[in-house]
Structure 1
């Protein structure tokens, strides 16, 4: 087709597909999140309990030390921020890092 070998057509197809995926992702490599889509929190308490649910009565799963940085969700319930499924911390003792966006949804 058009005098281009099949191997050349495959290479062109792959490059066009990659370019379309790059453009569809807002000009960022696929899988790369920017600060506006990433929520990261810094622990402000000396020791922060990570609980299995959004309440003081829920079991403690682990602890985080002061100044630890952790990924978090934008979900806050009953004064607790969800870190990920089944892991919650008291919202009072974490603060968003300067480069993240942690607006509650």
Structure 2
């Protein structure tokens, strides 16, 4: 095609794909994360129950101590913030760390 060897077309395709992914990620390499894209929460209660779902009626799967810091999702449902699949905490008893962005969705 256009007199370019197949190997050359593959290299061009890979470079174009990488450029598109770089641009789609806001000019940062894929997989890079700065503090503003990570949500981390600090526990403000003496002991915080981690529940299997977003409600007081859901079973407790673990607990966290005051000042513990954990990664969290931006998902908030029924007043509960999702930490990870099957791990929810009452939003009232956690606060975003000063170096993270945790706007609820």
TM-score under structure 2 length normalisation: 0.75
| 2:91 aligned with 1:91 | yes
The 1:51/1:17 distance shift into structure 2, 3 A limit, reads: same
5+ residue gaps in structure 2? 1-9
Question: Structure 2 matches for 1:5-84, cutoff 5 A?
Answer: 21-84=21-84
Q: What is the distance in 1 between the residues matched to 2:65 and 2:59?
A: 18
Q: What is the distance in 2 between the residues matched to 1:23 and 1:79?
A: 35
TM-score under structure 1 length normalisation: 0.75
Structure 1 runs (4+) deviating above 4 angstroms are: 10-24
5+ residue gaps in structure 1? 1-9
Report the number of matched residues. 105
